[in-house]
Structure 1
Amino acid sequence: MTYLKYILLTLITCLALSSCSNEDESVNYKPEPSPFSVKVNENTTVGAAATQITATITAGTDGWWIDVPTGSWCGFNAAVTSYTIYGSGNKTITIYIAANKTGESRTQTVTFHPTFGLAPVTVTIIQGA
């Protein structure tokens, strides 16, 4: 009889443990992206002289990256040699624009890419001759 009680107790314990679960099927564990926006703080049509504009990124705690085509006349350092930057969260960044000595106006697109597959935001900069 003791042997039967031991088997029955073992079966009950196994059933009780197998019915416990750390996962709740009604809970969605996929992280939700923060809203993403970009606000340019100055006019994006600028004169021929070297200048800079700033953009404020709102991304909560999510990551992002910003790029302009390599060899462009605008970038993310004063020498205009940095064409991609990465970051996360809310931040104000500076876009440096080299002097236009071509004699013609020019246009450049700066693309702000949020993580989580959200749509990128583009900013078009027009520089006069």
Structure 2
Amino acid sequence: MKEIINTDKAPAAIGTYSQAIVHNQVLYTSGQIPIDPATGEMLPAEFELQAHQVFKNLMAIAEEAGTSLQNAIKLNVFLQDLEDFAMLNQVMGEYIQEPYPARAAIQVARLPKDSLIEIDALIAIG
């Protein structure tokens, strides 16, 4: 069985997917990009602003599922430019403390809505 997670505190899905799914006490989030859920608009193309919004979106989904980003098991981070890697670490450190989750950070050619960052997560529940 799987449970669909949906919150208006994170951007609504813009395709044929759910914000997140819970299965066997693990929350699987869809990729989050820096859309402000209050306005539905993409944040300006400044990496630090966009990274903060992505973590806020993930945090809202985790909270809706009854967990937190601190319980993250794995993050998959997609960046338009790996030069933003140091800032990614700085921003992530504001939302998740040690012990840190496993993580991949990959430079990609393009992201939805020309976002500078997208992150999906696996987060333990309980």
Instruction: Give TM-score scaled by structure 1 length.
Output: 0.28
Larger Rg: 1
User: Which structure dedicates a bigger proportion of its chain to strand?
Assistant: 1
After TM superposition, the score normalised by the length of structure 2 is 0.28
Larger relative contact order (C-alpha < 8 A, sep ≥ 6)?
Answer: 2
